[in-house]
Amino acid sequence: MYKYFEPNKIFAITSRAPKYVLLLFIVVLTIGLTEALILSPEDYKQSDAVRIMYVHVPAAWISLGIFSSLALLSIGSFVLKNKNFALISKSLAPSGFIFNIIALVTGSIWGKPTWGTWWAWDARITSMLILALFYGMYLLAWRIYEEKEQAIKVTSMIAILGVINVPIIKYSVDWWNTLHQPPSINILSNNSIHVSMLIPLCIMTAAFTLFSLLIFLMKYNTELIKVKNKGLDRL
């Protein structure tokens, strides 16, 4: 099955896709921003400060999702000895890191009007900061190690070790007394968030997912061309 996902075969798609993804991203983001900033209602407690949720929550979700993917791909790269998995992980990491930073910064901005402080060493915030450190180490390792085999080993170890932090982030609000509220959205049970707020949240999540797909495709193409550049040297 993996032969269908060989870089040589999928490059024709990955090199053409970014312009369409960019267009779709702009459309979905425009709808999402209109919903989030104008059409959605204010919260009865937090008033308009609640609108920060529409950038903070999707950014946090996607940064967690991407890091989990990095760990899965790293395990896959170890077990199946497929170097393309490492290339995919390397291309996913930059957008995951940016989303992590966005979640931390917008969370801090949201914290001031709601909790009265920019920062607290609360379990959720601290574990998100640790995730940012793992992302930082992961990206740095790709730059530090020039030998590809060694870089794949080190980055895979970082991703596998770092993924232990993901369930800690998810359940930190249940395990410890934190400033964060318990989750408002649950796939298995009823949501405590009203549909008028859930719709913009879903649209913004879709827009952010499209952005991470766009960056992934561009980065993946860059990495493939890098490999082909080395191939030209060997001719």
Partner 1 sequence: MIKEIISMNGYGAYVWSAFSFTLISFISLYFVTKLQLSKEQKRFASKFGSLNLEKAKTARTQNINREILSNISKV
Binding mask 68-107 for partner 1 (x = CB under 8 A): --------------------------xx--x--xx--xx-
Q: Which is nearer to partner 1, 105 or 161 (CB)?
A: 105
For residues 86 and 142, the answer to whether their CB atoms sit within 8 Å is no
Where helices occur in 81-189 by DSSP H, the ranges are 83-115, 123-144, 148-162, 165-175
- Residue from 2, 20, 23, 112 touching partner 1 (CB under 8 A): that is 112
* Closer of 118 and 175 to partner 1 (Cβ): 118
Residue-wise over 27-52: b if at least 16 C-beta within 10 A, else e?
ebbebbbebbeeebeeeeeeeeebbb
Q: Is 225 one of the binding residues for partner 1 (CB under 8 A)?
A: yes
Q: Which is nearer to partner 1, 78 or 136 (CB)?
A: 136
Minimum gap (Å) between residue 144 Cβ and partner 1: 18
Fill in the per-residue mask, 134 to 153: x = in contact with partner 1 (CB under 8 A), - = not in contact. --------------------
Q: How far apart are CA 89 and CA 97, in angstroms?
A: 12
First-last CA distance in the chain: 29
* Residue nearer to partner 1 on the CB measure, 64 or 224: 224
141 vs 172: CA distance, rounded Å: 28
- In angstroms, give the least distance from the CB of 192 to partner 1: 22
Q: What is the number of other CB atoms lying within 10 angstroms of the CB of residue 226?
A: 11
Cα separation, 29 vs 19, in Å, equals 15
Per CB under 8 A, residues contacting partner 1 are: 7-9, 11-12, 15, 33, 37-38, 42, 47-49, 51-52, 55-56, 59, 94-95, 98, 101-102, 105-106, 109-110, 112-113, 211, 214-215, 218-219, 221-222, 224-226, 228-229, 231-233, 235
